[in-house]
Amino acid sequence: MGRQLKLNLFIYPGGHHEAAWRHPKSHTDRLLDIRFYQELAQRAEAAKLDAVFYADGPALVSNVQFATRFRIEPFTWLSAIAVATERIGLIGTASTTYLEPYNAARLFASLDHFSNGRAGWNIVTTGAERAAQNFGLDEHPPYAERYDRADDFVRVVGNRRGCPGLRCVR
């Protein structure tokens, strides 16, 4: 069999277009209704997509006044999707800068176990500088430092093999 393209449904609560929430057919009233996302994931699964993808950053962006920018906590969200679906992959973002490897390993292992091996990790070092303030730091660690830590972090979570027993989407 040749190479296959993997298709993910990348769900942003407010939509990917800046003004998506203003469209008459948008569902802004359901953005905090977990059943809304379960239904979207079920439709993606029925359409034979490979995964749902949930991006995250542990901070609000600066321009919150223009559109919905909140972030639902990804593991809470992915757990709800896991129980509403059977086969679709469950990819979530976890930051190597603002988590400890133990936290990440535990979260992904739990999700992976009860979803029968469907968890996937979007590994990021976090771009949003203001995340630092949410963790009691004076400033966001510089690029090189974040990526050095990320190398170690991924090795630790992945039993030193460089990649965990999860589906890595780097």
- CB of residue 153 vs ligand FMN: minimum separation in angstroms? 14
What residue number has its CB nearest to ligand FMN?
55
- CB of residue 24 vs ligand FMN: minimum separation in angstroms? 29
Question: Which residues bind to ligand FMN, rule: CB under 6 A?
Answer: 55-57, 93, 122, 124-127, 143
Nearest to 58 by CA among 4, 169, 137: 137
Nearer to ligand FMN, 86 or 129 (CB): 129
- CB of residue 83 vs ligand FMN: minimum separation in angstroms? 23
Nearer to ligand FMN, 46 or 61 (CB): 61
Nearer to ligand FMN, 23 or 50 (CB): 50
In angstroms, rounded to a whole number, what is the distance separating the alpha carbons of residues 67 and 58? 18
Apex 92 CA angle, 25 and 37, nearest 5 = 30
In angstroms, rounded to a whole number, what is the distance separating the alpha carbons of residues 130 and 59? 6
* Radius of gyration in angstroms for the set of CA atoms belonging to the chain, rounded to a whole number: 17
Nearer to ligand FMN, 115 or 125 (CB): 125
Nearer to ligand FMN, 85 or 125 (CB): 125
Structure tokens at 80: 């709800």
- CB of residue 49 vs ligand FMN: minimum separation in angstroms? 15
C-alpha distances in Å from residue 63, one per residue of 18, 27, 54, 137: 11, 21, 21, 22
In angstroms, rounded to a whole number, what is the distance separating the alpha carbons of residues 1 and 154? 30
- CB of residue 74 vs ligand FMN: minimum separation in angstroms? 8
